[in-house]
C-alpha cells in the first residue's frame, strides 16, 4: 500500500463481506491517507510448470522400444507338447513351462490386451513386463484373446505376443495355460528376478 494525499472513490467503498476488524482496519488506513494499489501495479508471478520433455527424447524412447520387439521373429524354437505351446530359455529346466501351465506358481499380475491395436499392445506388454520384474512379480498372465471376434477367427495378438516375449531377456519361460486359466486366449509368463545392484 502507498500513502497519498488524495483519496480515490474506490478507496472509500467497502465490501459488504468485510467483518468488523477489516472495516476498522480499512477506516484507519483511509484516515491515514493510504489507498490500495491498482490492478496494473501488482506483480504477477508466473505459475510453475513441469519442465517439458523434449519431443526427440520421446521419439528416441519409442524407437528403442519398437526396435526391441519385432513382429518378424521366427517361432521355430517354441516347444509343442501335449501341454500346449511353450517356450523356455537355454539353461531353464523343462519343468518350468510345465509348472507354469499346471498353475504351480501363483499369477501375481496380468494385462488384458483386448481392443488394442498391435502397436499399443507391443508398448503395453513391454511396459507391463518391466514393471512386473521391477516389483518382483515373476509369474504374470497376458490375455491376448483367442481371436473369436477377429476375421477368420484367428488371434492377431497371440502369435505376436509370443514372439515379443521370446525377445525379452527378462522372460525365462512361457506357456499356454489350462483352459480354465485362459487356454489359448492367454499366455503365462515366468520372469527372471531383477539383478540387484
Residue 72 has what pLDDT?
52
Asked whether residue 28 falls in the same domain as residue 122, the answer is no
Question: Does any domain span residue 64?
Answer: yes
Of residues 127, 103, 105, 71, the one with CA closest to residue 183: 103
Residue 22 has what pLDDT?
73
Residue 121 has what pLDDT?
94
Residue 66 has what pLDDT?
55
Residues 161-179 have a mean pLDDT of 93
Asked whether residue 94 falls in the same domain as residue 151, the answer is yes
Q: Is 97 helix (H, G, I), strand (E, B) or coil?
A: helix
DSSP state of 110: E
- Number of domains comprising the chain: 2
Asked whether residue 86 falls in the same domain as residue 11, the answer is no
Of residues 124, 167, 168, 120, the one with CA closest to residue 142: 124
Q: Which domain holds residue 20?
A: 2-41
**pTM of this structure:** 0.59
Asked whether residue 28 falls in the same domain as residue 94, the answer is no
Question: Does any domain span residue 172?
Answer: yes
Facing residues of 57 across strands?
none
What percentage of the chain reaches a pLDDT higher than 70? 71
Amino acid at each position: 500500500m502507498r500513502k497519498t494525499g488524495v483519496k480515490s472513490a474506490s478507496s472509500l467503498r467497502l465490501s459488504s463481506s468485510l467483518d468488523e476488524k477489516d472495516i476498522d482496519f480499512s477506516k484507519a488506513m483511509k484516515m491515514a491517507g493510504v489507498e490500495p494499489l491498482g490492478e496494473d501495479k501488482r506483480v504477477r508471478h508466473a505459475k510453475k510448470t513441469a519442465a517439458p520433455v523434449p519431443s526427440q527424447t520421446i521419439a528416441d524412447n519409442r524407437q528403442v522400444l519398437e526396435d526391441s520387439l519385432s513382429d518378424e521373429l521366427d517361432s521355430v524354437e517354441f516347444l509343442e507338447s501335449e501341454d500346449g505351446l511353450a517356450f523356455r530359455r537355454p539353461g531353464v529346466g523343462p519343468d518350468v513351462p510345465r509348472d507354469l501351465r499346471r498353475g504351480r506358481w501363483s499369477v501375481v499380475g496380468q494385462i488384458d490386451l483386448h481392443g488394442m491395436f498391435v502397436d499399443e499392445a507391443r508398448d503395453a506388454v513391454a511396459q507391463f513386463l518391466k514393471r512386473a520384474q521391477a516389483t518382483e512379480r515373476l509369474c504374470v498372465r497376458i490375455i491376448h484373446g483367442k481371436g473369436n471376434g477377429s476375421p477368420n477367427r484367428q488371434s492377431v495378438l497371440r502369435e505376436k505376443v509370443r514372439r515379443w516375449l521370446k525377445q525379452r531377456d527378462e522372460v525365462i519361460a512361457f506357456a499356454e495355460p489350462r483352459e480354465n486359466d485362459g487356454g489359448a486366449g492367454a499366455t503365462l509368463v515366468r520372469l527372471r528376478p531383477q539383478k540387484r545392484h
